[in-house]
């Protein structure tokens, strides 16, 4: 069985470049209580971009406009595509059961959040 393909979106606030983070629920099977970007696994036959849009809608209730692929020096996991998009809605329209909190976070604020593995280095590379 091959590796699952995943996608994520760094949703940036246009006023100051903060990123939207979602906290995984306390009962979630993977990294409960850790903060992550909207994203997840691709469904069969789904493109990375379509999955990024679907996951952001499912997890934060937001339809995204233009997505921009991120080219990073080191991806957190093989078979992962990251995008960034602007979004000025505050707060997210809804949170799914997988996530139980949201926050707009600046580069300087990252240390206060327990992030999923490798996310700190990714965000440090892209946040102003």
Q: H or E stretch including 15? A: none
Res. 19: pLDDT tops 80: yes
The model's confidence at residue 32, banded by pLDDT at 50, 70 and 90, is very high
Mean pLDDT in residue range 30-41: 92
* Preceding omega of 91 cis (within 30 degrees of 0): yes
- Domains observed in the chain: 6-126 (3.90.79.10)
Scan for tokens 């957190």, then name that residue. 76
Mean pLDDT in residue range 96-116: 91
Output the pTM of the full model.
0.86
Ranking 53-57, 108-112, 124-128 by mean pLDDT, the lowest is 124-128
């Amino acid at each position: 069985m091959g590796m699952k393909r995943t996608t994520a979106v760094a949703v940036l606030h246009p006023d100051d470049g903060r990123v939207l983070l979602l906290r995984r629920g306390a009962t979630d099977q993977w990294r409960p209580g850790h903060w992550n970007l909207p994203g997840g696994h691709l469904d069969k036959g789904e493109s990375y971009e379509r999955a990024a849009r679907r996951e952001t809608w499912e997890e934060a209730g937001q339809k995204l406009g233009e997505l921009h692929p991120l080219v990073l020096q080191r991806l957190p996991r093989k078979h992962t595509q990251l995008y960034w998009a602007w979004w000025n809605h505050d707060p997210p329209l809804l949170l799914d059961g997988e996530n139980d909190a949201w926050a707009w976070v600046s580069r300087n604020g990252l240390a206060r959040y327990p992030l999923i593995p490798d996310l700190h280095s990714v965000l440090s590379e892209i946040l102003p």
